[in-house]
Amino acid sequence: MDAAGIAKFFTSIGNRVIRTESCYWYNPQPFMYRSLPIHRFVAPAPAEIAKVLMLGPALALRYPMRPDAEGAPGGMFVCHDRNYDFASLSQNVRSRTRRGLARCRIEQISFEYLAEHGYALTEETTLRQMGKKPNRSIEEWRLFCTNASHLADFEAWGAFVEDRLATFMVAMLVEDCYYIHLQKSASDLLKFYPNNALLFTVMKTKFACPEVGFISHGPKALAVGKGLEYYKTSMGLEIQPCTEQVVFNPLIKPFISWKGDAVVNRMVRRHPENLFWRRAARALSVARGEESGAQSGAEEIQAAESGSR
């Protein structure tokens, strides 16, 4: 699937998609646009940014640039290891993965099955990680699954403890990137390590496919719980550096300067474990250019970091 194909898919599930010279843009959340394909570095001209802000309409844009560009440090979770196996994992996670494989049944599942059984896990994971309900309704989830089922480059995988779905993954092949778009799990079954078992099995399987050049588990979030980052890197994914760009619509900049920081920072102090407010705080910092490539990228949120996957 090429960039036009993934743009067409997001259009089919109700996202607004805008095409500019350098890439496509879609709105995963209302008035918030991201570049497509997600794994590709882009360098949009000011006219492109203005086009998306006006036509969206968009309050903010987020996109990755090459690591030598000016801006805040970011990263993509990627793996290029075609010999991916247990040796690719960190030593202390190998036993967890083996235990997960012993307790879980891993198989590719249909999107019809996922439409009926996946939404509950989406709700649990979003509440566990973000402290809120998912933006997508159950009707939108079923539309997502129905349209994904029509595309050969989309796959759904599941890990089962006995006959119960413990975790699932939705991934897509975009260009030569096998992109893991979603991975959601049942909270009470995490003790059986289904996430480790599922990710290991899928990555090992897909690296045997010649059309897969590399695997991506998405960009680093603007703020992330230590447990989530540790999970990905311990499973053999590396952080490929990039430069994070967040651009706010000029029409809302006066509000951000006047009240935005105070509101967001107050919410971060009140709810330090809530990723939503921590990501909002970092988005404001990145957009103002307060972070340089020399920073670690974690310094700003380290004091508030207490949540985990």
pLDDT string in tens for the chain (309-residue length): 999 999 999 999 999 999 999 999 999 988 899 999 999 999 999 999 999 999 999 988 999 999 999 988 899 999 999 999 999 999 989 999 999 999 999 999 999 999 999 999 999 999 988 778 888 999 999 999 999 999 999 999 999 999 999 999 999 999 999 999 999 999 999 999 999 999 999 999 999 999 999 999 999 876 556 678 899 999 999 999 999 998 888 887 666 665 555 555 665 466 555 545 455 555 556 555 555 433 333 333 232 222 333
Partners of 182 in the β-ladder: 170
Cβ pair 180, 217 in contact under 8 A:
yes
Cβ pair 218, 178 in contact under 8 A:
no
Tell me the C-alpha distance between 50 and 248, whole Å: 10
Q: What is the structure's pLDDT at 196?
A: 98
Q: Which residues contact 266 (CB under 8 A, 6 or more apart)?
A: none
Taken as a whole, the chain contains a residue count of: 309
CA angle 147, 150, 155 (to 5 degrees): 90
Q: What is the structure's pLDDT at 285?
A: 61
Tell me the pTM: 0.83
Residue 6, both tokens: 């993934």
Q: What is the structure's pLDDT at 249?
A: 87
Q: Which residues contact 91 (CB under 8 A, 6 or more apart)?
A: none
Q: What is the structure's pLDDT at 248?
A: 86
Cβ pair 231, 309 in contact under 8 A:
yes
Q: What is the structure's pLDDT at 188?
A: 97
Q: What is the structure's pLDDT at 306?
A: 29
Domains and CATH numbers, the chain: 1-65 (no CATH), 85-206 (3.40.630.30)
